[in-house]
Amino acid sequence: MTRRYFGTDGIRGRTNSPPMTAAMAMQVGQAAGKRFLRDGHGSRVVIGKDTRLSGYMMESALTAGFTSVGMNVLQLGPMPTPAVAMLTRTLRADLGVMISASHNPYDDNGIKLFGPDGYKLSDDDETEIEALIDSEIALAAPAKIGRAKRIDDARGRYIHFAKATFPLSLRLDGLKVVVDCAHGAAYAVAPPALWELGAEVDAIGVAPDGFNINDHSGSTYPKALQLRVLETGADIGIALDGDADRLIVVDEKGQIVDGDQLMALIASRAAVMGTLKGGALVATVMSNLGLERWLAGRGIGLHRAGVGDRYVLEMMRARGCNIGGEQSGHLILADHSTTGDGLVAALQVLAALVAAGKPASEVLHLFDPLPQLLRSVRFTGAPLERDAVKAAIADGEARLDGNGRLLIRKSGTEPVIRVMAEGEDRALVKAVVDDICAAVVAA
């Protein structure tokens, strides 16, 4: 069934354009509130946001929607997405909401919803909410309108939670860490968490002004982090995205370490310690074949899910696995979190670095990835249905001839088609991607 509002990661779009308007946010609040409203007057929803200018508007509209149907609202202010998931559980809330467009620029925004267990809502729950959005919702009687209050110590609660995932036997003393918070939701929590564990912290991307979130900073633009690590002689660099559920690392030589390498490190370490569940790691169809081969050589399986951390998590739960993630840096460590958590994942990487007592370049680069190229092409209409595009895709598959992979998909968060090819021959991979992208543009 085609959904009108929800994509692969909640509702997302350009602010003040449908569906990302204040009016729609209020409708979402009313619909989700009605769906999760319990009998009595104790129902509550937790709302967090990142640092976008539009966050104030969306927070107010959602609060109006929730309170109008009788739900009490607990406002967290700027907080990472995983903090919202965690606090939804610990505050015994019936629903959690994160206002964020993740790694997108400031003029986009989005609404992500979590159930009382801290997990993102299922497709069925989102479909029910969509049906309620398009219906007339009965409002609460005047005496049963909800209340709203701010949770002033939310940041401290999350910092304590994140630090508790770091081994008690280890410290970060003597380690110089550059952390780039992308001027986003982690700007006031990631640096103090690292400092309290003993690291010498150099924080960048920690001056949000409503407009600069993800702007030439964070995990989607690691160049700033690479330069800072090299300039300061840091031991390691950590880059988060706007809502801090994504992690990219830079070693002491300025080399980028992506999610595939980080998953290999965390999963193999867990296997040695006997804490890897399900005997496998869950990744997506985007993860490199080099990762799969490296894991197989160590007796660790790899299950591939569809793109999107929610689908990774669904497969993790179905297969009984506790570690999963995406090449882009969404890492899910189910022993600690119910969703991707960039800070918690970073702490596990730092723990491995400290335990090894070796430079990051030696610890974090575990396998040589096969040549892989990913490009995004903006589109209108339905180019994947065009004969010329279908022919280009079929030709690309034939040229790879079983010695690589080709993946074509529409993004669930923006109007682009992603074209990815992977294989032993770098020149062939580039040619295949170039030809398919050209066909999409011409369609």
Give the chain's count of helices (H) and strands (E).
Answer: 14, 18
Task: Give the pLDDT confidence of 370-394 residue by residue, as tens digits.
Answer: 999 999 998 888 889 899 999 999 9
Domain end residue (candidates: 93, 125, 152): 152
The residue ranking higher by pLDDT, 379 or 154, is: 154
Burial level of 324, CB count in 10 A (0-12/13-18/19+)? buried
pLDDT given for residue 204 in this prediction: 98
- For the cut 80, the answer to whether the pLDDT of residue 74 exceeds it is yes
CB-side neighbour CA atoms (13 Å) of 59? 24
Query: Is 20 in the same domain as 147?
Result: yes
Pair 264, 141 in one domain: no
Q: What is the largest CA-CA distance in the chain?
A: 69
- pLDDT score of 196: 98
Same domain, 317 and 271: yes
Residue with tokens 């009687």: 141
> Residue by residue, what is the 3-state secondary structure of 1-52?
CCCCCCECCEEEEECCECCECHHHHHHHHHHHHHHHCCCCCCCEEEEEECCC
Mean local confidence (pLDDT), 55-83:
97
23: confidence class by pLDDT, cuts 50, 70, 90: very high
CB-CB contact of 315 with 436 (8 Å): no
Asked if residues 385 and 410 have their Cβ atoms less than 8 Å apart, the reply is no
350 beta partners: none
pLDDT in tens, 36-49: 998 766 899 999 99
Question: Per-residue confidence at 213, pLDDT binned at 50, 70, 90?
Answer: very high
pLDDT more than 90, % of the chain? 88
Query: 299 pLDDT exceeds 90?
Result: yes
One domain for residues 314 and 197:
no
Together in a domain, 273 and 353:
yes
Same domain, 33 and 103: yes
CB atoms within 10 A of CB 418: 16
Asked if the model's pLDDT at residue 94 lies above 70, the reply is yes
Is the Cβ–Cβ distance between 172 and 199 less than 8 Å? yes
Tell me if 5 is assigned to some domain: no
**392 assigned to some structural domain:** yes
| Domain assignment of residue 128, yes or no | yes
**Who contacts 363 (Cβ-Cβ below 8 Å, separation ≥6)?**
265, 352, 353, 356
Domain stops at, among 338, 363, 388: 363
Quick one: 33 and 111 in the same domain? yes
* Residue 412 structural domain: 372-442
pLDDT digits (tens, 9 = 90+) for 256-267: 999 999 999 999
Per-residue confidence at 1, pLDDT binned at 50, 70, 90?
A: low
Q: In 170-258, which ranges are continuous DSSP H helix?
A: 190-196, 223-232
For residue 423, the domain's CATH number is: 3.30.310.50
Calculate mean pLDDT across residues 104-116. 96
Polymer length of the chain:
443
The whole-number average pLDDT for the span 131-139 is 94
In a domain? residue 15 = yes
pLDDT at residue 194, as a whole number: 98
* Reported confidence tier of residue 409, pLDDT bands at 50, 70, 90: confident
Residue 244 belongs to some domain of the structure: yes
Query: pLDDT digit string (tens) for 313-350?
Result: 999 999 999 999 999 999 999 999 999 999 999 999 99
Residue 120 resides in a domain: yes
- pLDDT > 60? residue 406: yes
**Is the CB of residue 38 less than 8 Å from the CB of residue 130?**
no
Residue 381, in any domain of the structure = yes
Q: Are residues 332 and 387 in the same domain?
A: no
Final residue of a domain: which of 203, 221, 253?
253
Q: Which two tokens stand for residue 422?
A: 């992977």
Global pTM reads: 0.90
Residue that the structure tokens 């924080």 belong to = 203
DSSP state for residue 17 in the 8-state scheme: B
| Per-chain mean pLDDT for the chain | 95
In this structure, the answer to whether residues 42 and 137 fall within a common structural domain is yes
Structural Rg of the chain based on CA atoms: 22
- Residue 234 in contact with residue 176, Cβ under 8 Å? yes
Q: How confident is the model at residue 309 (pLDDT cuts 50, 70, 90)?
A: confident
Burial status of residue 410 (CB atoms within 10 A of its CB: 0-12, 13-18, 19 or more):
middle
For residue 252, give the amino acid letter: E
Under a CB-based contact definition with an 8 Å cutoff, are residues 146 and 71 in contact?
Answer: yes
Count of domains for the chain: 4
What does the pLDDT read at residue 40? 64
127, 213: one domain: no
Q: Which amino acid is at 176?
A: K
Strand partners, 361: none
pLDDT for position 266: 98
Asked if residues 62 and 97 have their Cβ atoms less than 8 Å apart, the reply is: yes
Compute CA distances 150 → 46, 78, 217, 386, 389, whole Å. 10, 11, 29, 52, 52
Do 39 and 124 sit in the same domain of this protein? yes
308 band by pLDDT with thresholds 50, 70 and 90 = confident
The residues annotated with a catalytic role in the active site are 102
Share of the chain above pLDDT 70, in %: 99
**Residue 19: is the preceding peptide bond cis (ω within 30°)?**
yes
Q: Does residue 51 sit in the same domain as residue 162?
A: no
Q: Residue written as tokens 């399900």?
A: 278
What CATH number corresponds to the domain at position 58? Answer: 3.40.120.10
390 within domain boundaries: yes
